[in-house]
Amino acid sequence: MFPIFIYTIAYSQKIAEAIEPGYLLLDHTENERSDWREYWPIRNYLLQNRLDEDAYYGFFSPRFKEKTGLSYEHVTAFIRNSFEDTDAFIFSPQVDMGAFFQNMYYGGELMSPGFLDASQRLLDRNKVDVSLGSLFTDSRTTVFSNYVVARPTFWREWLTIGEMLFAAAETTDVHDELAIKLKSKTTYSGDVQRKVFVMESLATLVLNLCKNLRVHAYDPFLFAWSAQLGHFKQEAVVCDALKTAVIKQERGVYGDVFNQISSQVLQKGRLIQKDPYMIYNDGYDRINKTLLDSIPSGLSKVVEVGCMRGTLAKTYLDQNPGCKWIGIDRDVDHIEAARRICSQVICEDVESLSDEKLTDFSDADTWVLGDLLDRLYDPWKLLSRIRKVMRPGAFLIVSVSNAQHWSFQARLSVGQVQYEDNTVFDKTILRLFSRTTLIEMLNNAGFKVVQGLSQSRNHPDMDKFIPPLRAMAEANGHDPDSAVTDAMAFKFMMVAISA
């Protein structure tokens, strides 16, 4: 019989005295470093004790039975009656809170905007090769509240990433952007910092990173459901099954249907407070397929300014492995991720690059500036500088959000111009462009547009704005048909060459 050591974390003497028989005491009554919540006592235990390689360990909060309905006997019987080669057992309630999100990082992002980005930065900085934006997880490996009982192989991996988180949040560098994000307070009662919720995602992350771990999940559909989404039970079952299909078969159609159903449920459940149409980028770390399709195949050298994590580069290079891809970005964490993909990376603000450095890329076949120009102080100057070093016949491909979009005009008309992260009013956007002004800027910099593309999205309220758009165009003495056409485009993309 293998040993099972499951501890209840006691934050007070009252909790310590009421521990259910069978559970062991993990004393945290002094509440040292309470800002780390459960991580502090679990961390200390793992650092200070030598674990039995054949044993199972778990560290439960005092509310485990309340949330799962399981007694100590239920938990241990489930473990002992399972396959002996199992590495981790999970007991995760509120399956709906996991089912309706691609992974728990998207759920965390909805509750605390910036959560996904902070988590990805942590992993990139420590060279953990995973894209949280494209990761799908289902109920087989999703863990809430650290309700996992596992062998030391799991806990070593958990602690390794946990210490990455601890080091990042404990840095003495007061200007470190990641530390600031991790220590920012959330809306959870008690001013809990974001780092605590990043910590709670570690169990799920480890189970999905370490494919060799054998996991057995207690049927989560038997536990309590959440108050927010618990009445969408059938939809939760369907969404969880669709995510399993995505993981096993890697067919995009399953992901598309999942996104449709989950979006509908989140709106019905009022968890999406703002119109999802206004989201600037509704999929973290996903490529703009229209932009990708604009890049000619078989290129020898591409310079991407604003490469971020190298997602576009990876997709293109998978299809064109002989291409040399240069990635430029001013974000240190993004560059760490892009370094694994691009042929060369430069961590610098492109507007600060010297003319000599730009000249190093004069042999590039194509320059790509996706969703960048509206975030620059002087995009007109940068385009002129790039034009001077480009070789004859090279392409420039740019994309910008359309400031003439009907939703932008509608919000502007009633003064709803609050700056919000990840929307068309994103705080990082410094310039506004329409189709006309984008073409003018390219022409003035010495480029000739050879192809123009637009991206549109259907919206149930779209048609009711067409009459007032036509009326405004006519009042301004302009063609109403052209005004309406331009107002339907969410983004514009231009392919240009030297004039």
The pLDDT score that the predictor gives to residue 498 is: 87
Output the pLDDT for position 187: 83
- Give percent of the chain with pLDDT exceeding 90: 83
Q: What is the pTM of this model?
A: 0.86
Q: What does the pLDDT read at residue 458?
A: 78
**What pLDDT does residue 53 have?**
95
The whole-number pLDDT of residue 497 equals 95
Q: Which of 216, 207, 375 minimizes the C-alpha distance to 306?
A: 375
pLDDT at 111: 82
Alpha carbon separation from 375 to 148, 387, 444, 445, 452 (Å, rounded): 44, 19, 19, 18, 21
What's the angle, vertex CA 102, arms to CA 97 and CA 103, rounded to 5?
65
SS3 helix, strand, coil % of the chain, rounded to 5?
45, 15, 40
Categorize the per-residue pLDDT at 142 as very low, low, confident or very high, splitting at 50, 70 and 90: very high
pLDDT band for 37, please (50, 70, 90 cuts): very high
**Cα torsion for 135, 138, 140, 142, to the nearest 10°?**
70
Residue labelled with tokens 């039995």: 52
Q: Is the pLDDT of residue 279 over 50?
A: no
Query: Distance (Å, rounded) from C-alpha 345 to C-alpha 467?
Result: 48
Domain boundaries, the chain: 4-273, 289-498
Arithmetic mean of pLDDT, 379-406: 95
Q: Binning pLDDT at 50, 70 and 90, where does residue 146 land?
A: very high
Question: What percentage of the chain exceeds 70 in pLDDT?
Answer: 96
Topology classification of domain 289-498: Rossmann fold (3.40.50)
pLDDT, position 175: 92
Place of tokens 């048909």: 481
- pLDDT at position 250: 83
pLDDT at 278: 41
Question: How many Å apart are CA 399 and CA 369, to the nearest integer?
Answer: 7
Question: Residue 273 has what pLDDT?
Answer: 56
Query: CA-CA distance, 282 to 263, in Å (whole number)?
Result: 11
405's CB contacts (< 8 A; 6+ apart) are 424, 487, 488, 489, 490
**Joined tokens for residue 115:** 């959560």
| Strands 148-150, 56-60: pairing kind | antiparallel
Give every CB contact of residue 376 below 8 A, 6+ residues apart in sequence: 350, 351, 382, 430, 431
What pLDDT digit, counting tens, does each position of 426-469 carry? 778 899 999 999 999 999 999 999 999 998 887 778 899 999 99
Q: What digits encode the pLDDT tens for the residues 201-258?
A: 999 999 999 999 999 999 999 999 999 999 999 999 999 999 999 999 988 899 999 9
Residue 282 in this model has a pLDDT that exceeds 70:
no
Residue 330 has pLDDT above 50, yes or no: yes
Amino acid found at 298: G
